[in-house]
Amino acid sequence: MSVQDRFLHYITFDTQSDPSSSSAPSTSKQLILAKELAGECEKLGLQASVDSYGIVYATLEASDETLPSLGFCAHMDTASELSGKDVKARIIKNYQGNTIRLNEEYSMSPKDYPALKDCIGDDLIVTDGTTLLGGDDKAGIAIIMQAVSDIIDQNLPHGRVQMAFTPDEEVGRGVENFDLDRFKVDYAYTVDGGKIDQIDYENFNAAQAVIRIEGKTIHPGYAKDKMINASLLASEFIQSMPKKQTPAHTEKRQGFYHLVTMQGSCEEALLTYILRHHDWHRFLKQKEFMKSQVEKMNAKYPGRFHLELHDQYYNMKQYMHGDMRCVHRARKAIRRAGLDPVSIATRGGTDGAMLTEKGLICPNLGTGTYHHHGRYEFASIQQMEKMVEIVKYIICTF
């Protein structure tokens, strides 16, 4: 079996997670893929199981105890933005840089989707424009499974390898129930990125601010000097925030305040912001700034503004405490595969960030799939194959 076959098989499973559900996993359909994967691991001769939260754990025992024990994680669920049911994938052989027509309505050109330019000459897997593809992160699963299967077939020397396939990453609950006692490794990797020359170990520090604004409702005909319209206060608050520090005006290592939702009536309004910054001190400043903005509004409108601020996740780099063994190992493997390793400060979070905070260092590798979460998602078969090679080098060759 090839990584391509595995990938095409896994994307036939509808594994969309549900942000509104509080059960674990958030949707029971994710369990169908979980059981399939545990079964495949058992067929490879691995110890494998699915726990009650839907997490698949599998172990390949060491053939050479002197090699480090390593973990590999990928998530089974797909994003809520677009359905991942009845994915009808199509293969384009030897892509030549042209506009790809997905269906009557949707096309993608390298001008609008520049990742295509890096895939000229590759065989691509694309959608029919009605669903997402599921490369995020079934490509990660296919790559890990293929690498381990090859290592067994080719009898390559390896340390202990643990795999975990998790549900609900896309709804921010990927490692909520992750059992680190079942995953005893020196360090681990998520295989959940895009470009395959990347090894990423920096991500945002993240907090959420919910601001509740109390108004005072009175019949609008008799409201002079009495009514306090919570929606208008909310709008005043929004105007008081920095205009240029938003996702639409920032890139690279610049942080932002993002107004995620606003709801309002005269009686009450609710604003939800997320705060993001790679730099810890600037992140602290962002939170202080949010508090001071609310205080200013309360000085003008006493007792009307209520702030709830909570941290969501942190930049993994600060929890690595300078231990770069996992990054060096990956860089060596990427070089060995003929590529120049690159590290980018991710403008988001990863499951690995939360695992690193819990004590398991876990940077992120690429998958060779791009434009995740929508109909323009695509995979390069050659890049997935190369990624299998990289994972094998990480496990076997040092």
Binding residues for Zn ion, rule: CB under 5 A, are 136-137, 192
- The SS3 of residue 389 is helix
What is the closest distance, in whole angstroms, from the C-beta atom of residue 170 to Zn ion in the complex?
7
Q: Counting every residue, how long is the chain? A: 398
Min dist CB 75 to Zn ion, Å, is: 6
Give the nearest distance from C-beta 65 to Zn ion in angstroms.
33
Q: How far is the CB of 192 from Zn ion (least distance, A)?
A: 4
Q: How far is the CB of 165 from Zn ion (least distance, A)?
A: 12
Work out how close the CB of 139 gets to Zn ion at its nearest, in angstroms, rounded to a whole number.
9
CA dihedral 353, 158, 163, 278 (to 10 degrees): 10
Secondary element (H or E) of residue 386:
helix 381-396
Nearest residue (CB) to Zn ion, 137 versus 200: 137
Choosing from 14, 40, 77, 202, the catalytic residue is 77
Nearer to Zn ion, 192 or 377 (CB): 192
Compare residues 40 and 136 and give the one whose CB is closer to Zn ion. Answer: 136
- Spatial distance between the Cα atoms of 138 and 167, rounded to a whole number of angstroms: 11
Catalytic annotation, pick one of 40, 169, 197, 200: 169
Q: How far apart are CA 170 and CA 16, in angstroms?
A: 9
> Based on CB atoms, which residue is closest to Zn ion, 38 or 79?
79
132 near 78, Cβ under 8 Å?
yes
Q: How far apart are CA 271 and CA 204, in angstroms?
A: 21
Compute how many other C-beta atoms are within 10 angstroms of the C-beta atom of residue 186: 17
Q: Which residue has the tokens 């997905």?
A: 102
Q: Which of 307, 86, 275 is nearest to 211 (CA)?
A: 307
Distance CA 55, CA 73 (A): 10
- Residue closer to Zn ion (CB basis): 290 or 362: 362
* Residue with Cβ nearer Zn ion (192 or 200): 192
For every residue of 321-372, DSSP letters joined together read: TT--HHHHHHHHHHHHTT---B--B-SS--HHHHHHHTT----EE--SEEST
Q: From residue 143, how far is each of 10, 40, 147, 188, 368 by CA, in Å?
A: 11, 14, 6, 15, 10
Is 169 marked active-site? yes
Q: Give the integer Cα–Cα distance in Å for 325 and 4.
A: 30
The set of catalytic residues is 77, 169
